Structure 1
Amino acid sequence: MTVAPERPAIATRRGRDLASEQDFRMLADFCADEYGLEQGVADRIMDQALALAYVMGTTRAGDVMAPSETVDPGWHTLILHTQWYEKWCTEQFGYFLHHAPKSKMRTNGLMQDVKARIATEGFEVDERLWPKAAECNAPTCCGDGPCC
């Protein structure tokens, strides 16, 4: 009888680890204050926003990805800190990842794809922050069910 050697579990990455603790605190505190969020929620949102931005930048998929409505305050927190964000983009993936709003395209299919892309790159996905699209307003209905 042969026994297969155990493979060590691969640690999942966290978005928050893409910034120093001091920088993460600065961003998460701003997100909490600016958007009226509890600190723990703002921390989770910033973690996911950093992972999202990193995946968009490293895979050059910024034109086909978007944050959920819940993660959007974290994405805006990043881009509002222009000097920090520009330096971070350059260090992480070598170019400035511009903001290209797609809020009208937040479909169930898109959110599932974004979550899958983040997970594929090894990041934890906080499922509670990536809900299905809540409303369907023509002409943006995607047809993923009775409502987007």
Structure 2
Amino acid sequence: MKEYFLRDLVKIKNGKDHKTVSNGTIPIYGSGGIMRYGNQFLYGKPSILLPRKGTLDNIQFSKIPFWTVDTIYYTEINEDITEPYFLYNYLKILNLENLNTGTGVPSMTFDSYYNLKIQLPNLPIQKKIAKILMDIDNKIELNNQLNDNLSYYFIQLLPARSSA
């Protein structure tokens, strides 16, 4: 294991106002999750999305192009040192609420994030762990989709059953 500061692993970038972005298929993230879909992206590589204001424990990950608004940061990840999905999962288990710098609305600054100490195994181990975690998360997502489909069909069939 080797210790790094988060500043060694990522560059944190500000989100931008989305009001001029037309509707489309690209996710537009705020600190609470996907707000809507637009036709432009700010960044096109895998990225960890870090809340700037609001819900500080809602760290998100995007593996597809996306846009972030000004309540959430996005990251450019140094993939020579860390595997993006591994780092995302590592950051998710940290209690970032303790780093709150806001007085009213919970807030995080670049420095709050950059000064986080991160213990990383070597890159091949990170990649193995990330693959396992991604496989599990993909299976959970698939199961949730199946449950949603089953619920939909159950609701569609229920009126037909009761009228028979």
TM-score (norm 1): 0.25
Per residue, is there more strand in 1 or in 2?
2
TM-score (norm 2): 0.23
Greater Rg over alpha carbons, structure: 2
